[in-house]
Amino acid sequence: MARALINLPRTARRGEVIEIRTLIQHVMETGYRPGADGVVVPRDIITRFTCLYNNEEIFAAELAPAIAANPFLSFSTVATESGILAFTWTGDNGFEQTETRSLTVT
């Protein structure tokens, strides 16, 4: 399990725009870089990130080798109803990790 950091408010008013920040600790190895032994290090990156809000996709991103290690993503959404936000990172070598946070809308 990689360490994932997520920041969003625990509560929000209905209709409020909330900011969500995520960061996952990942090497984002490009696949172009020779290692100490001169052999190219195989690519190992996060390729896709999604955020589901009560099972509806509200944000997704495709990640490429040019993106730096420990990718940080920040986006916003409208707080419509109380529920669960699920954050999923998928990538090379079968990488997949999902984290969830609850949001209470008043």
Partner 1 sequence: MRRRALLGAALLAAPALAQAAPKVVVIGGGFGGATAARALHRLGVAVTLVERDATYLSCPFSNAVIAGLREMEAQRFGYDGLRREGIAVVLQAARTVEARQVVLADGATLPFDRLVMAPGIALRPDAIPGLDTEVMPHAWRAGPQTLLLRRQLEAMEDGGLVVLSAPANPYRCPPGPYERASLIAHHLKTRKPRSKLILLDAKDTFSKQKLFEEAWAALYPGLLEWVPLSSGGKVVEVDAAARVVRTEFGEHQAAVANIIPPQSAGRIAQAAGLTDRSGWCPVDPVSFESRQRAGVHLIGDAIIAGAMPKSAFAANAQARVCAEAVAALLRGEAPAPPKLINTCYSLVEPGYGISIAGVYQPANGLLADVPGAGGVSALGAPAATRAAEAGYAEDWFRTVTADAFG
Residues that bind partner 1 (CB under 8 A): 3, 5-7, 21, 23, 25, 69-70, 72
Any residues with CB less than 8 A from the CB of 4 and at least 6 apart, and which?
22, 23, 24, 25, 87, 89, 97, 99
**Which tokens belong to 72?**
């940080």
Nearer to partner 1, 40 or 69 (CB): 69
How far apart are CB 68 and partner 1 at their closest, in Å?
Answer: 10
